[in-house]
Amino acid sequence: MRVARGFDVLGQAEAAPQPGRPSASRERLRREAIELARAEALIDAAYSYCLVPLDAPPAEILCAGGEKLFAPWLLPASGQLTALACGVCTLGPLLEQRVSLLFAERKASLALALDGLGNELLFAVSRRAQDRMQADATRRGLSMAGELRAGDPGLALDAQGAVLRLAQAETIGVALKSGHLMHPFKSTSMVLGIGIDLPAVQWSRCDTCPTRGKCAVVARTKTAAPASTAAQSA
């Protein structure tokens, strides 16, 4: 298991361009949100992940670490799937609490800007975690391919509990609440295939997603530097 926290994801976001052509007021609100997040130390970014060997030969239902995941998309066209990389990322609870407070204070524009900044930061944490997973797999002479998130096409939402257990999410304070929602809300999980000579996947979980056209994650992926694998998290 690998755990990381205490890295400055806010500084990274400050330096990154916003997707699209944001208006001057959107830029101003984003700057205000960044300043607020920094002044009040609202971000406690962290991630944990595990590369979990398969308990049984790969099949449509993948067995790893005593859990079962129906994830046939991860079965490679060639090579050998030997493990699952399961990760979870979070920003901690303070940002979403501050967003709620801003709404209560009728500062909806800043609340929305802070919430949007949170999504952006979670995306950045997710990329960082995925890069570490890739480096870890490479060090072991293995390859990594594909990316699934519970609730997106390719992995049912009810797989979320198993993914969090495999990623040992409790070590960074992420737990599952009712409706398969994670707490803190600004958290995300992922599952990728690990193995020998895995080919790059020809699919993305976003391919058939009905919200792709207006998805902020897709917009950010287009403006971000290439990740080691496919698109990132919602």
Q: Which residues bind ligand SF4 (CB under 6 A)?
A: 152, 205-206, 209, 211-212, 215, 217-218, 231, 234
For ligand SF4, give the closer residue by CB, 139 or 214. Answer: 214
For ligand SF4, give the closer residue by CB, 100 or 208. Answer: 208
Q: CA-to-CA distance for 143 and 67, rounded, in angstroms?
A: 22
For ligand SF4, give the closer residue by CB, 211 or 223. Answer: 211
Smallest gap from residue 217 Cβ to ligand SF4 (A): 4
Residue type, 179: G
Smallest gap from residue 193 Cβ to ligand SF4 (A): 17
The conformational region for residue 173 under phi > 0 = left, psi -120 to 50 = alpha, else beta, is left
For ligand SF4, give the closer residue by CB, 82 or 147. Answer: 147
For ligand SF4, give the closer residue by CB, 47 or 123. Answer: 123
Q: CA-to-CA distance for 165 and 95, rounded, in angstroms?
A: 24
Rounded to an integer, what is the distance from CA 117 to the centroid of its chain? 15
Smallest gap from residue 32 Cβ to ligand SF4 (A): 26
Q: CA-to-CA distance for 229 and 23, rounded, in angstroms?
A: 31
Smallest gap from residue 77 Cβ to ligand SF4 (A): 21
Smallest gap from residue 184 Cβ to ligand SF4 (A): 19
For ligand SF4, give the closer residue by CB, 74 or 217. Answer: 217
Smallest gap from residue 147 Cβ to ligand SF4 (A): 10
